[in-house]
């Protein structure tokens, strides 16, 4: 539609220019130049109408361009806000991740220390159990020795009494 209106405007201006120019050319013999304009029949109103249509069309295009620019700015602003929000969420999740890692590292260190203490207690308990076993073996050996001595004393007492 815009192309057709522009083309029509060009044709009307062309027609107006050359129909009025050829009508106003003086003869060679007269050598008189006339600066008076002769109104063309209906061409002036057509040209003005086409000019008005062209102006309206350009104004519509400018309005559409302004609306498009406003929408683009709105979209850019919205995208910027979403980007800022996403960055804030990313930063918050990064902080939470670091806090969680630090907490797990602390727990892991505590568990490692607890394992070391437990291992030390186990080694100590094993040492105590081994010492107790040696004492038990020594006590058993003393018990057997005492039983042999007691049996020897009983034998001596029997031999003397009999």
Instruction: Give me the pLDDT at residue 3, please.
Output: 65
Residue 133 sits in which domain range? 2-17+48-161
Instruction: Give me the pLDDT at residue 42, please.
Output: 62
Collapsing DSSP to helix, strand or coil, 87 comes out as helix
Q: Indicate the average pLDDT of the chain.
A: 84
Confirm whether 108 is domain-assigned: yes
Is the per-residue pLDDT at 46 higher than 80? yes
What's this model's pTM, rounded to 2 decimal places? 0.42
* Total domains, the chain: 1
Average pLDDT over residues 83-103: 95
Confirm whether 93 is domain-assigned: yes
Average pLDDT over residues 74-86: 94
Q: Render the burial of 23-58: b for 16+ CB within 10 Å, e for the rest.
A: eeeeeeeeeeeeeeeeebeebeebbeebeebeeeee
Instruction: Give me the pLDDT at residue 146, please.
Output: 92
Confirm whether 29 is domain-assigned: no
Is the per-residue pLDDT at 52 higher than 70? yes
Higher pLDDT, 138 or 38: 138
Is the per-residue pLDDT at 78 higher than 60? yes
Q: 62 near 56, Cβ under 8 Å? A: no
Confirm whether 25 is domain-assigned: no
Confirm whether 27 is domain-assigned: no
Confirm whether 58 is domain-assigned: yes
């Amino acid at each position: 539609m815009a192309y057709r209106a522009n083309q029509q405007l060009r044709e009307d201006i062309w027609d107006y220019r050359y129909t009025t120019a050829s009508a106003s050319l003086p003869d060679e013999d007269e050598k008189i130049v006339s600066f008076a304009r002769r109104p063309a029949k209906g061409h002036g109103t057509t040209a003005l109408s086409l000019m008005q249509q062209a102006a309206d069309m350009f104004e519509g295009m400018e309005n559409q361009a302004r609306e498009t620019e406003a929408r683009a700015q709105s979209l850019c602003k919205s995208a910027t806000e979403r980007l800022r929000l996403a960055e804030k969420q990313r930063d918050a999740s990064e902080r939470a991740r670091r806090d969680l890692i630090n907490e797990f590292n602390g727990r892991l260190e505590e568990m490692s220390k607890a394992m070391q203490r437990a291992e030390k207690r186990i080694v100590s308990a094993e040492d105590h159990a081994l010492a107790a076993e040696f004492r038990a073996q020594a006590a058993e050996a003393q018990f057997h020795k005492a039983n042999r001595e007691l049996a020897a004393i009983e034998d001596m007492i029997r031999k003397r009494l009999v």
